[in-house]
Amino acid sequence: MSITPLPPLDRRQAATAVLAAKKRTGVRWADLGKAIGMSTEWTTAALLGQHPLTDDQAATLGSALELDAAVVEALTLPPVRGKDVSDSSEPLVYRLQEVVQVYGSTIHELVREEFGDGIISAIDFELELERVPDPKGDRVRVTLNGKFLPYRTW
Amino acid sequence: MSITPLPPLDRRQAATAVLAAKKRTGVRWADLGKAIGMSTEWTTAALLGQHPLTDDQAATLGSALELDAAVVEALTLPPVRGKDVSDSSEPLVYRLQEVVQVYGSTIHELVREEFGDGIISAIDFELELERVPDPKGDRVRVTLNGKFLPYRTW
Amino acid sequence: MSITPLPPLDRRQAATAVLAAKKRTGVRWADLGKAIGMSTEWTTAALLGQHPLTDDQAATLGSALELDAAVVEALTLPPVRGKDVSDSSEPLVYRLQEVVQVYGSTIHELVREEFGDGIISAIDFELELERVPDPKGDRVRVTLNGKFLPYRTW
Amino acid sequence: MSITPLPPLDRRQAATAVLAAKKRTGVRWADLGKAIGMSTEWTTAALLGQHPLTDDQAATLGSALELDAAVVEALTLPPVRGKDVSDSSEPLVYRLQEVVQVYGSTIHELVREEFGDGIISAIDFELELERVPDPKGDRVRVTLNGKFLPYRTW
Amino acid sequence: MSITPLPPLDRRQAATAVLAAKKRTGVRWADLGKAIGMSTEWTTAALLGQHPLTDDQAATLGSALELDAAVVEALTLPPVRGKDVSDSSEPLVYRLQEVVQVYGSTIHELVREEFGDGIISAIDFELELERVPDPKGDRVRVTLNGKFLPYRTW
Amino acid sequence: MSITPLPPLDRRQAATAVLAAKKRTGVRWADLGKAIGMSTEWTTAALLGQHPLTDDQAATLGSALELDAAVVEALTLPPVRGKDVSDSSEPLVYRLQEVVQVYGSTIHELVREEFGDGIISAIDFELELERVPDPKGDRVRVTLNGKFLPYRTW
Amino acid sequence: MSITPLPPLDRRQAATAVLAAKKRTGVRWADLGKAIGMSTEWTTAALLGQHPLTDDQAATLGSALELDAAVVEALTLPPVRGKDVSDSSEPLVYRLQEVVQVYGSTIHELVREEFGDGIISAIDFELELERVPDPKGDRVRVTLNGKFLPYRTW
Amino acid sequence: MSITPLPPLDRRQAATAVLAAKKRTGVRWADLGKAIGMSTEWTTAALLGQHPLTDDQAATLGSALELDAAVVEALTLPPVRGKDVSDSSEPLVYRLQEVVQVYGSTIHELVREEFGDGIISAIDFELELERVPDPKGDRVRVTLNGKFLPYRTW
Amino acid sequence: MSITPLPPLDRRQAATAVLAAKKRTGVRWADLGKAIGMSTEWTTAALLGQHPLTDDQAATLGSALELDAAVVEALTLPPVRGKDVSDSSEPLVYRLQEVVQVYGSTIHELVREEFGDGIISAIDFELELERVPDPKGDRVRVTLNGKFLPYRTW
Amino acid sequence: MSITPLPPLDRRQAATAVLAAKKRTGVRWADLGKAIGMSTEWTTAALLGQHPLTDDQAATLGSALELDAAVVEALTLPPVRGKDVSDSSEPLVYRLQEVVQVYGSTIHELVREEFGDGIISAIDFELELERVPDPKGDRVRVTLNGKFLPYRTW
């Protein structure tokens, strides 16, 4: 019976290998984004398994991170969205969830007043993270930018 | 046996009454924020039960919304954070949760690289929502702005 | 202390009242759709609390169903999407969920092959239900029609 | 003690191997369906582990996809329905679930009015997926076609 | 503002009223089945809210049980299947669930061997319960009788 | 450090090996039951890991199925009841659960009327599955036969 | 429309009334057991809604506790087993659950060794609670006494 | 890179090895208890991973059970309490949980009456299991013996 | 049929009334503790429903808080421990749970090293909360003080 | 195809190796803390995977514990907070959770009275564990010390 040619790594294992390589090489997320001409945020998400990467993008990132060929190949697999590398009990991620719990109804009401019946797209969507210097302690500004999608009626 | 003087309304019921009064009076969230000198977003969250309101703030908002005295009194109760008026299966709120699921690890990694070991505060925190005109369909920009808090070591 | 003017009914109670009125009056969902110039499916969903209704639409439907004024007013409240009148253990609804469990990956793969990385919108979306006569037993054809939304890259 | 002759792969692993082979060979789901004289949708579902495949069907599909003999053998195992390759937090699959949450009661009521007390079969059932060209963005039409099954009384 | 004419009782409340009336009148489930020409089992299930009852059936059962008019009317509402009057932690119901847990795979395998790929219908289905005298303690025989439904291929 | 002599297979793995061997050898469940003088149903359940098998029974079944010695030894381990080989989202097993959800209260009430306060044993219990020919489509009759156990009072 | 004669109290409400009456009258559980000729433990469980009470038993207990007629009537309703008056997060009840978690496998193994394949009946079952004086602090001895039920084979 | 010297087995694997060795050697739990001068019940629980064992105890038990050195070493690891070798859906363990559900409130009330505000310790606790001969079928007596701990006030 | 004399309020409702009265009267938790000669922390917990209060304690606290007689009576009911007035998604309470998640294993290991096999009692337990002035922002010190309870062996 | 250079151990496996090495070497948590100039509590938490360790800290601790190089390297990976080595059903950890359930509302109210609207930081936080000698049995004092963070308003 022959040996089955299964892909040697999946996207989650590739993300773990990327984190290890990033520590080893000292390259920064912003450098990786520039290498493929994409934003830092999108590139980070893609390397963590949340977006697809083309063969060219994977090869370029593989060179920058000195990744093994098997990891580069795994980076071209379909993304595994929704289940994150970070656990929901991870303290930083939990606080983002708390923001949704505390301010979800506020965002809902403000969108309903301003735009009408619809949602903020999580697909036609951009995320940006910036450091905001502050004498009382620097701050993190996370910008969620999504297209308003009105409910179709028919 | 005497009748117990329980408070006539809780914060959730007050939030429901606020939404009904807002529809009846046609006042906007931004107007309510201006009336008490606070941002639109904080004021909306407070009226929906997520933040405390002083007696003065509640009275001013009560006048603007033509609220009954019982509702005004209920608005001064402690907030009931964490459980939102909106359900987590509500489509707009779900998409915010999906953003946390898809981008939580990305935000975690970018913060770890830029700031080190710590979290984004959901307490020393501001939220802003803006309409971004776009010829392909206007967009919603939600800005999360929280202080970076480094883990204490001892 | 004055009595708080809470809205007398919410959207779920209005949906229950609509079902009772529909049985009493014998009017059909298609008739109700025609009365407001909308499809049968959208109108049914709206009356069951899943879509907003304007004051005019609610008034027209209220006349057709001989609804009480309090129910008509409740029909103009914001929709309460996501939590259905039917329970998920309801046998017909469960089988729809089973279809998603069994065929979800198939739909995902076929969309990925044909359209690329993205989703089927549940917002820019139409639903149609038809009876398909069949000598071996009539069939139900449910058509889900949603816009393909490609993932934005940035 | 002898080595136990366990089957080398299960249906889920076979599905993973099929996806890898499909990427490698560039063959399309529709071609695979034609190769065994079945619809694209049924064939995709079967290769993803949701339907049984005969020895002949597995052999034909194995040739088209250049599958290893161990994968071909695994494709003839009983299906593993209900637990999908895709996770329920996968964004495309979640939107299908949201459709069931939002429109489940609507479908239930329309079936009850038109057919009486019963369900839509998920067994005597066909699924079809089509691309619908649209100048405002192409659309996906998913057709669910199930036999109406009336409740037996006795 | 007029009073909303909501139905005074739902099917679950009607079931509770039926149980109280059955205790008061001493009538047996078998008598109630005979009164409407249906089996004991179907009639019990219908009175407990699991099947629809026509106006005539409800009136006949109402007479036999000396039910109030409001209860009779509630019995004609659509059934509320899936959520039982009994809790799943109720010891008798729990043991039925245990039977499914212990013997579910056995039934699945035996059906697959004998009938092929398909399911036992829970819709085209009859239930019968009999007392089986036994010197070592009488037994309960519950017969589940459902049509085999083969999976459609297309 | 010596190698720990752990048992090479557990009951679940043995069940998987049995299913593979049954397919390979073409032997039927009924034949296996006859080989050890037990019913088809009990034997199937035992081979699927739900009942204990003696050394003799395991050896006889091992010969009939041409099982490896390691599998035969694993068949003599204690049963792993309650967690089935089949998942609860498996469509056939789900429909059995639906029967418990829909008819659980009916069975409870009929037992209470006929026998008094007690339960149907799932231990002093037999299961039988038969094919019932029917011109409109053959049916499956599953007979649950359990001793009535009255609650002890003290 | 006439008023529906629903039973004024259910078993849980009756249990609450019993606890209040017990505090008011100062009667002890043991006294109540003696009044109906049953053990303290069974009587307590029955008054808390876990066992049925005859009309005579309920009347006797009602006299001892000076219960209102509506409570006495409610005590004759069928028991509501499985869902306790006490919550599972109640500290005393949690420790009983912990005992099952920590010692469940031990009890299972000891029964399997001594009795063979079977269970300890929770139906043909008695519970006894005693105070055990101890100079280091008195102890509680809870005795569970259930019939061994061997698995039937067939 | 050197090989990490991880412990070859954990307590759960050791428990599995103990069960296999016990079957092979035919030694009884009572013999094992006597070998280390502890009760049968405590010894069984300890060997199943619920209590710590000293090096001496592990060595003595290892000899009696002819255990491999790796298993003996694993037996000296800290206990893994709370998660049992037996699953909670295991029928015998489930019935113990049912006893807590049905009689938890009874035990709570009887302790509150007899001892006051406090709990039964699950730490200063002993368990004993005995066979009780009975002409109608032998019974199992499980004695739970825990110190009463009064709530501290301060 | 007479009216059932149910207690007018339960412990949770009493806690809500206490919070309203505390706001109205401006009395502090420390004052209430002094009034009954108990610590601030125990008294707060007791008034929030987590500990029993004697008739005298309830009367004294009722005078201080100007409580209605019905609330005072409710305060003497048994405590309802385990389910808190605060929700677990409440941000302050959640952070306490996070402390248990992050430091639970640390506390476990340190206790095991220092004391041996056992637990920290949550019954023979005191809680103290203090304000710790700090130039960088005042701090909260919560002291958990519980008796070490060694596991009994037998 | 080359072999992927995945990190040989993760933080949880490193924690397990640390516990084994600690038993082997007999070193105490306090010694380990002193070796890197940190508190016993922080060092224990860090070695159990809850805090980051620098290369120097990991090397020093590796020497003290005679750890393999692969374990030392794994100790420098990012922490895996939130999911503990100890299970939540572990008896000692459960009692800490019970403390949060029973006293969470008390801590919340006392903080609200003393500090106003805000939380106790779990990030700017210290934990200390001490043995408190007591003639009635030594006690454990766990001190939680977190900065009060007031809610920002804007």
pLDDT digits over B82-139, tens only?
Answer: 765 445 689 999 999 999 999 999 999 999 999 999 999 999 999 999 999 999 999 9
Residue pairs between chains G and J whose CB atoms are closer than 8 Å: 11
In tens digits, chain G (154 residues) has pLDDT values of 334 444 468 898 999 999 999 999 999 999 999 999 999 999 999 999 999 999 999 999 999 999 999 999 999 999 988 765 445 689 999 999 999 999 999 999 999 999 999 999 999 999 999 999 999 999 999 999 999 999 999 9
J89 shares contact with chain G (CB less than 8 Å): yes
Is pLDDT above 70 for E2?
no
A91 reaches I (C-beta below 8 A): yes
CB pairs under 8 A between B and I: 38
Residue I118: list chain H partners with CB under 8 A.
Answer: 123
Of J89, J91, J101, the CB nearest to G89: J101
- DSSP secondary structure letter of residue D106: H
Q: Is G99 in contact with H41 (Cβ distance < 8 A)?
A: no
Given the residues D24, D66, D121, D139, select the one marked as catalytic: D121
pLDDT in tens, E108-126: 999 999 999 999 999 999 9
What sign does the dihedral J11-J16-J21-J27 (CA atoms) show?
positive
Containing A141, the helix (H) or strand (E) segment is strand A139-150
| CA-CA-CA-CA torsion sign (B141, B142, B147, B151) | negative
pLDDT score at A14 = 94
**Chains in contact with chain G (at least 3 beta-carbon pairs closer than 8 A):** E, F, H, I, J
D82 band by pLDDT with thresholds 50, 70 and 90: confident
Mutation site for B-interface testing, chosen from C6, C83, C123, C154 by largest number of B Cβ within 10 Å: C6
H4:J94 CB<8 A: no
Shortest Cα–Cα distance, F136 to chain C (Å): 10
CB atoms within 10 A of CB H37: 9
Cβ–Cβ of J84/I102 closer than 8 Å? Answer: yes
Q: Do I94 and A89 touch (CB under 8 A)?
A: no
Which residues does chain G have within 8 Å of residue F39's beta carbon, measured at their own beta carbons?
154
Is there a catalytic annotation at residue C112? Answer: no
Active site residue A73: no
Q: Tens of pLDDT along D36-81? A: 999 999 999 999 999 999 999 999 999 999 999 999 999 999 998 8
Q: Which residue has the tokens 């929502």?
A: B129
G41 contacts F125? CB cut-off 8 A: no
Q: CA nearest A80 in D: which residue? A: D90
**A28 in reach of chain D (CB within 8 A):** no
Residue D136 has pLDDT above 70, yes or no: yes
Which residue type, as a one-letter code, is found at position A66? E
Mutate which of J4, J16, J24, J132 to disrupt the H interface (most H C-beta within 10 Å)? Answer: J16
How many other β-carbons are positioned within 10 Å of the β-carbon of residue A46?
Answer: 26
CA distance E19 to chain C (A): 23
| Residues in B touching C5 (Cβ below 8 Å) | 17, 20, 68
Domains of chain F: 11-75 (1.10.260.40), 91-150 (3.30.1160.10)
Is the CB of residue B6 less than 8 Å from the CB of residue I20? Answer: yes
G135: closest CA of chain F, how far (Å):
32
**CB-based contacts of I79: which residues, under 8 Å, 6+ apart?**
H117, I11, I46, I49, I50, I51, I52
> What's the pLDDT at D9?
86
- Spatial separation of the C-alpha atoms in residues I61 and I36, rounded to whole Å: 7
Does chain B reach chain I with at least 3 CB pairs under 8 Å?
yes
B86: CB partners within 8 A, 6+ apart: A104, A105, A108, B92, B93
Confidence of residue E88 (pLDDT cuts 50, 70, 90): low
**B with F: touching (≥3 Cβ pairs within 8 Å):** no
d(CA J124, CA I136): 11
Contact A102 I91 (CB under 8 A): yes
Q: Which of A2, A95, A114, A130 is catalytic?
A: A95
- Candidates G112, G140, G152: best to mutate against H (most CBs of H within 10 A) is G140
Q: Do D20 and A3 touch (CB under 8 A)?
A: no
CB contact under 8 A, I52 and H118: no
Q: Residue I84 CB: number of other CB atoms within 10 A?
A: 24
Of residues A89, A91, A101, nearest to I89 (C-beta): A101
CA distance J148 to J118: 7
Residue with tokens 């026509």: E54
> To the nearest whole angstrom, how far is the Cα of D151 from the nearest Cα of chain A?
32
- Interior/surface letters B37-72, b for 16+ CB within 10 angstroms, e for the rest: ebbbbbbbbbbbbbbbbeeebbbbbbebbebbebbb
- Residue B24: count of CB within 10 angstroms of its CB: 12
Nearest to B80 by CA among I86, A100, A95, I12: I86
C-alpha closest to that of F12 among E105, G94, G91: E105
Smallest CA-to-CA distance from D71 within D60, D62, D80, D83 is with D62
- Judge whether C82 is closer than 8 Å to chain B, CB to CB: yes
Please name the residue of chain C whose CA is at the shortest distance from the CA of residue A127.
C154
Q: How far off is chain J from I128, nearest CA to CA, in Å?
A: 9
The pLDDT of residue G4 is 43
State whether residue D63 sits within 8 Å of chain C by CB: no
Give the pLDDT confidence score for residue C4 in this predicted structure: 43
Alpha helices in chain D (DSSP H): 11-25, 29-35, 40-47, 55-65, 69-75, 91-115
**Nearest CB to G16 within list I1, I3, I6:** I6
Residue of E nearest to H92 (CA): E98
Residues of chain C with pLDDT under 70: 1-8, 83-88
pLDDT above 70 for E27: yes
ipTM of the complex model: 0.93
Residue of chain B whose alpha carbon sits nearest to that of A141: B145
Q: How far is I72 from chain B (nearest CA, A)?
A: 10
φ, ψ (nearest 5 deg) of residue F140: -110, 125
Q: Is the pLDDT of residue E77 over 70?
A: yes
**Per-residue pLDDT at D2:** 39
Q: Which two tokens stand for residue H87?
A: 């699953």
Q: To the nearest whole angstrom, how far is the Cα of C57 from the nearest Cα of chain D?
A: 18
Is D112 one of the annotated active-site residues of the chain?
Answer: no
| Residue F37 buriedness (CB in 10 A; 0-12 / 13-18 / 19+) | exposed
* Residue D85 to residue D79: CA distance in whole angstroms: 12
- Residue D104 DSSP code: H
Distance between CA atoms of residues F87 and A127, nearest Å:
39
pLDDT at E80: 86
Q: Which of D50-64, G82-96, H1-15, I74-88 has the weakest average pLDDT?
A: H1-15
The answer to whether the Cβ–Cβ distance between E139 and F132 falls below 8 Å is: no
At residue G8, the pLDDT reads 65
Q: Which residues of F touch E101 (CB under 8 A)?
A: 81-84
What confidence tens digit (pLDDT) does each residue in F62-117 have? 999 999 999 999 999 999 887 654 456 889 999 999 999 999 999 999 999 999 99
Q: Which residue of J has its CA nearest to B151?
A: J123
Helices (H) and strands (E) in chain D, counts: 6, 2
Interchain pair E154, D38: CB under 8 A:
yes
Touching partners of H (3+ C-beta pairs < 8 Å)? E, F, G, I, J
Residue B2 touches chain I, beta carbons under 8 Å: yes
